Structure 1
């Protein structure tokens, strides 16, 4: 059985061949061809062989070869151009067409089914990407994983996180069912006979029917385009949350990765582009099959518009590829930002610890100072203060880090259990501690960022332990990296690299690697034994 994946592979790659039982098929085709020639010479009327076409089928001729040359000629009513891509291969043009072959050549259902096959393949890959990307989105947003629990989807009442995160399985599930149904319909078409008339050699007759009607293609492509639009809308909603610092669980606004947020607007332009893509995608979601017109002297009063619908779905697929590329680059940025934060935060903690040991442990006489007990609370301040609130200047007194460190020491000094002497000692040490921290931070923080840009980190990236790592690795293996405003490299350059990789078919393997070891079945619900 021929699959949409095989059709897509043959259409796009010169090194791919599909092994079918060609000899068995050729024998049957030869029998039918001989039957046509035999009955034509006998003078038997056969549609499209000795008759005209459609509303002019009352015309008769015994010049079958010339009839099909005329069929090709009068159907050439469009603007084709002289580009070689619009010309039939030489091997085809050199071969003489036999009676009825011209009719098969111009059958729109065959062309529509071929295009629909490549569209179905892409749609399945992108739908799978949307699922894995939603999982990665949950990880970078620090979402509550309960929405993925198998019981949640048996009861279908998830709570907590915003809809784009916790209801992503419910949004994607119906769309995947639509894409799956469309794929089955197209595979049925490419494995069926859509000719007319059909030749039944065993009964010595030509059966006139309507297998040429491509309605299954048109309807399937219309439905698929709506599913693609819904997937794109979900992806845009997720992207909007990802760049919004009100919702993205501590990530910087617009995913800015540079040292100066005032001169780094990160993925602001990318989100605007996503809005534009979404608008166009939703416009394309409208049905094509409802616009059929009566044609060919009202003989073709009902048509499928399958090829047009397949073409519009192909356009929708291209837009979804652009959206997927943009979203994937943003997700990788969101993966690297916490990695940068973790490494820089470790450096800040080390500096605070060193400063505390140097300035708070002993007094001027070398005796143990009561302020030595502050270190643990000072380190907790560093843990609790988001790095991106002071990333452009860790030593600024107007930023949360230095303010909270000072507040921590003041709180210790004002503790009721301390007497006036202890309070005085701690207060005197605050300015000395702050000065020491500033000196250490000014030398260590820029160094950590410089090393991070070179790929040298003391703490490894936690994405390597995640199932979604193959997807991240694909993006970074293309030469992309954390985007910052201090460099001339734009988000569009990285997005273009990822888009090209998706267009070249490099997305499927990493996606399958992400799902390796999973057979698609939900977990069984086991009772908890107390």
Structure 2
């Protein structure tokens, strides 16, 4: 059970809720604070002009709204902003976004009635997913359009997905014994004015990116063993003179994981002797290709990017990010722009660039495996059948190469694509939701390329008959792949095999680093 309302939520908490179906519970002290914030706003807002309670919204904030229309104002805001288009977001993205919205509101700075956070908790625990669409937000007054669709379901309208099917919200609530919220003061504005969708997708992206980094490291180390590489390129001594945190962490993980390998060689035992100096043309490769030799230097900055993004997105997931902020302790209402999504947008752009580079690394390693002129030890396309008659993994390279090319195009930044809108009220915007969604596409593309590489590596290991010489970690990964897809000689439908691998890597983490 994950308790929400007192401690900071971490990436591990999100992973437990999203992938391990951990339920959530609301801290009683936090619920009391939400109640106190609501009661303070109710009293404080009398005889005052407060944005979004008795004024219009955005550029129409200069218009005062009469008291008899205040509740209609909130309902109008929700319904009018349900303008999303495109495909519905998938369940994991929506669940993560709901966790983020709940975690923001429960901090007691939004002036909502406690029934809001209670219903959000019930929807999350019952796997009821609002119908939220991919297109709609510019990420400046938060995820206005996407969160309006969430708010629409909270007031009992629209459709939700339950047990895989979209149904009328009221019908599902009735089935589960749930009650829609009522609008009391500013529930409409508090629900839609925040960064929770982009942040929720960002948290999911981080979970998947961490898996991709670990699978890439696992794949790289198996290739290093396969070519019987020298150990000095991931040694402490070499990497210590370049003081980057990510590079040294990757090198340390490689040292630990490859320590049990029977294939790794020491340079001083093979190349630092008189006999080898007599050879005019060396049989042993003195240095491997960069995609094999430079793993700490390539994965290091990717890891650093991930770690910094993790800090930023966790901070955003634990922030109060609507406007205005209701501050009972200081007896005031603070107006500003905590809804602005620049923090998320920039980190998602950086993360997608890093993961694109990871897909490039994987694709180049795959090319090395498939090209006998490069590796010198494997049949073309790791084809275990009859050359000419059988084709092995040949066609899978087309998929990996085209998918990597798509990543390279998608890695152009969204963060700088600010377009003024909302009568120029929103004159500098973040495009954070777009950035998070594109980043998600890049990461899933990268996991697909890695899946092709993992299956190809398994075929290569069988071709070389080195299974028993692998390090413990590599042997474990090899066995996992072979459990999903046994060694194959004859050609068959690769799509079916690769789908098994991608389904596995998306939900599992080899946790090497």
**Cross-structure match for 1:25:** 30
Find the aligned partners of 1:255 and 1:18 in 2 and give their Cα distance.
47
1:111 correspondence with 2:116: no
1:250 correspondence with 2:256: no
Find the aligned partners of 2:82 and 2:236 in 1 and give their Cα distance.
57
Give the C-alpha shift of residue 463 in structure 1. 5.0
Contact 2:201 2:436 in 1 (8 A): yes
**Cross-structure match for 1:16:** 22
TM-score (norm 2): 0.70
**Cross-structure match for 1:384:** none
Per mean C-alpha deviation after superposition, the further-off stretch among 127-136 and 320-329 is 127-136
Residues 164-189 of structure 1 show CA distances to partners (whole Å, capped at 9, x for unaligned) of 10012101101110111111100000
Find the aligned partners of 1:19 and 1:138 in 2 and give their Cα distance.
46
SS at match of 2:326: strand
1:44 correspondence with 2:48: yes
Relative to structure 1, the CA distance from residue 297 to residue 180 in structure 2 (aligned partners, 3 Å threshold; closer, same or farther) is: same
Contact 1:289 1:304 in 2 (8 A): yes
Structure with the bigger percentage of helix: 1
**Cross-structure match for 1:199:** 326
**Cross-structure match for 1:379:** none
SS at match of 1:262: coil
- Give the total of aligned pairs: 383
**Cross-structure match for 2:407:** 281
Tell me how large the CA RMSD over aligned residues is: 2.3
Relative to structure 1, the CA distance from residue 215 to residue 81 in structure 2 (aligned partners, 3 Å threshold; closer, same or farther) is: closer
SS at match of 1:199: strand
1:477 correspondence with 2:483: yes
Residues 399-444 of structure 1 show CA distances to partners (whole Å, capped at 9, x for unaligned) of xxxxxxxxxxxxxxxxxxxxxxxxxxxxxxxxxxxxxxxxxxxxxx
Give the C-alpha shift of residue 52 in structure 1. 1.0
Q: 2:336 aligns with which of 209, 213, 218?
A: 209
Find the aligned partners of 1:296 and 1:198 in 2 and give their Cα distance.
22
SS at match of 1:300: coil
Structure with the bigger percentage of strand: 2
Give the C-alpha shift of residue 112 in structure 1. 0.9
**Cross-structure match for 1:179:** 306
Any gaps of 5 or more consecutive residues in structure 2? 1-7, 90-128, 132-158, 161-168, 248-266, 268-285
**Cross-structure match for 1:322:** 448
**Cross-structure match for 1:74:** 80
Find the aligned partners of 2:84 and 2:499 in 1 and give their Cα distance.
34
1:492 correspondence with 2:499: no
**Cross-structure match for 1:128:** 214
**Cross-structure match for 2:457:** 331
Relative to structure 1, the CA distance from residue 143 to residue 465 in structure 2 (aligned partners, 3 Å threshold; closer, same or farther) is: closer
Find the aligned partners of 1:11 and 1:43 in 2 and give their Cα distance.
44
Any gaps of 5 or more consecutive residues in structure 1? 343-460, 521-530
SS at match of 2:401: helix
Relative to structure 1, the CA distance from residue 241 to residue 124 in structure 2 (aligned partners, 3 Å threshold; closer, same or farther) is: same
Find the aligned partners of 1:133 and 1:190 in 2 and give their Cα distance.
32
Give the C-alpha shift of residue 464 in structure 1. 5.8
Relative to structure 1, the CA distance from residue 476 to residue 95 in structure 2 (aligned partners, 3 Å threshold; closer, same or farther) is: same
Bigger RCO of structures 1 and 2 (CA < 8 A, at least 6 apart)? 2
1:300 correspondence with 2:426: yes
**Cross-structure match for 1:137:** 223
Find the aligned partners of 1:68 and 1:11 in 2 and give their Cα distance.
31
**Cross-structure match for 1:360:** none
Give the C-alpha shift of residue 65 in structure 1. 1.9
Find the aligned partners of 2:336 and 2:353 in 1 and give their Cα distance.
31
Give the C-alpha shift of residue 80 in structure 1. 7.1
Give the C-alpha shift of residue 491 in structure 1. 2.8
**Cross-structure match for 2:468:** 462
Find the aligned partners of 2:431 and 2:369 in 1 and give their Cα distance.
39
Find the aligned partners of 1:6 and 1:82 in 2 and give their Cα distance.
25
Contact 2:225 2:470 in 1 (8 A): no
